[in-house]
């Protein structure tokens, strides 16, 4: 199975994704912000990443761009609960930055696994 990077400032979201992905047989590494995500990825690259768009410090769009600079073609799933913008606007921006797929919060286990399967080409 794959090594998956989960980047979200909300611990509850990271825990939910870890539980779902590990039950499906994947290895999960976590980061609470973009800077930590890039550092973790440099030390041990992942085969895919889930990246929250709105985070303190280095936000998701910059994180997506930097991860793709380190690993062009990395399948990235952008996740967002929105803010002052709609999920459609926010997640559309993520695609323009190179995210392969998008998911709106609240996340559902079946959608997470289906999207990851698509992102990994399976």
Q: How many CA atoms lie within 13 A of 105 on its CB side?
A: 19
How far is Cα 82 from Cα 53, in angstroms, rounded to an integer?
8
SS3 content of the chain, % helix, strand, coil (to 5): 45, 20, 35
Structure tokens at 75: 């399948």
24-54 pLDDT, tens digit per residue, is: 999 999 999 999 999 999 999 999 999 999 8
49-86 pLDDT, tens digit per residue, is: 999 998 999 999 999 999 999 999 999 999 987 554 44
88-107 pLDDT, tens digit per residue, is: 566 677 888 899 998 988 89
Angle (nearest 5°) at CA 7 between 45 and 12:
135
pTM for this prediction: 0.92
Q: Which domains does the chain have, with CATH numbers?
A: 3-119 (3.40.50.2300)
């Amino acid at each position: 199975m794959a090594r998956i990077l989960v980047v979200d400032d909300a611990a509850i979201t990271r825990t939910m994704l870890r539980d779902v992905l590990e039950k499906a047989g994947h290895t999960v590494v976590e980061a609470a912000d973009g800077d930590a995500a890039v550092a973790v990825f440099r030390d041990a690259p992942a085969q895919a990443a889930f990246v929250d768009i709105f985070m303190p410090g280095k936000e998701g769009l910059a994180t997506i761009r930097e991860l793709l600079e380190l690993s062009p073609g990395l399948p990235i799933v952008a996740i967002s609960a929105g803010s002052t913008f709609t999920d459609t606007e926010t997640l559309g921006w993520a695609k323009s930055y190179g995210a392969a797929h998008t998911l709106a919060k609240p996340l559902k286990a079946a959608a997470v696994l289906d999207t990851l399967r698509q992102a990994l080409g399976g």
